[in-house]
């Protein structure tokens, strides 16, 4: 089983719909992250969490929200999806101050 699991793997939705992407991990890491990747651009940080009670905005948090339900679970929501949120989304974890990241397999989201 994967250490970092994202669901769904693919999602097609319509403008204005609410979408939730889920991430769970079995690595026991405190730190969790949500990134998006667009063609020709580097990964951009949406939100990150250093523990269950800690949520921080990243570079591009507008239009997104997150919930850290437990150490192992970190979900990303798009309250009202728009087409420019079409992207490949990755969840990642890291251990303590070590910045090495472990990624889930990604969620390809298409907003029509």
Partner 1 sequence: RKEVEQDPGPFNVPEGATVAFNCTYSNSASQSFFWYRQDCRKEPKLLMSVYSSGNEDGRFTAQLNRASQYISLLIRDSKLSDSATYLCVVNKAYQLIWGAGTKLIIKP
Name the β-bridge partners of 66.
76
CB nearer to partner 1: pick between 38 and 79: 38
Cα–Cα–Cα angle for 78, 59, 108, rounded to 5 degrees: 45
Answer whether 10's CB lies under 8 Å from 108's CB: yes
Does 55 sit near partner 1 (CB under 8 A)? Answer: no
Cβ 76 to partner 1 shortest distance, Å: 16
Rule CB under 8 A: choose which of 1, 42, 53, 70 binds partner 1.
42
Pairing status of strand 19-25 against strand 73-78 = antiparallel
Answer whether 14's CB lies under 8 Å from 112's CB: yes
Q: Which of residues 92-111 bind partner 1 (CB under 8 A)?
A: 99-101, 103-106, 108
Nearest residue to 87 (alpha-carbon basis) of 37, 46, 13: 37
Rule CB under 8 A: choose which of 20, 45, 52, 60 binds partner 1.
45
Cβ 10 to partner 1 shortest distance, Å: 11
Rule CB under 8 A: choose which of 13, 44, 55, 61 binds partner 1.
44
Binding residues for partner 1, rule: CB under 8 A, are: 40-45, 48, 58-59, 88, 90, 99-101, 103-106, 108
């Amino acid at each position: 089983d994967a250490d970092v699991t994202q669901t769904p793997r693919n999602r097609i939705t319509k403008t204005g719909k609410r979408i939730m992407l889920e991430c769970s991990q079995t690595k026991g890491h405190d730190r969790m992250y949500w990134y998006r990747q667009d063609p020709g651009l580097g990964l951009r940080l949406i939100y990150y969490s250093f523990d269950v009670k800690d949520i921080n905005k990243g570079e591009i948090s507008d239009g997104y929200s997150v919930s850290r339900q437990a150490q192992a679970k970190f979900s990303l929501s798009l309250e009202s999806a728009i087409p420019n949120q079409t992207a490949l989304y990755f969840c990642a974890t890291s251990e303590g101050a070590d910045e090495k990241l472990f990624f889930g397999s990604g969620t390809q989201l298409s907003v029509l």
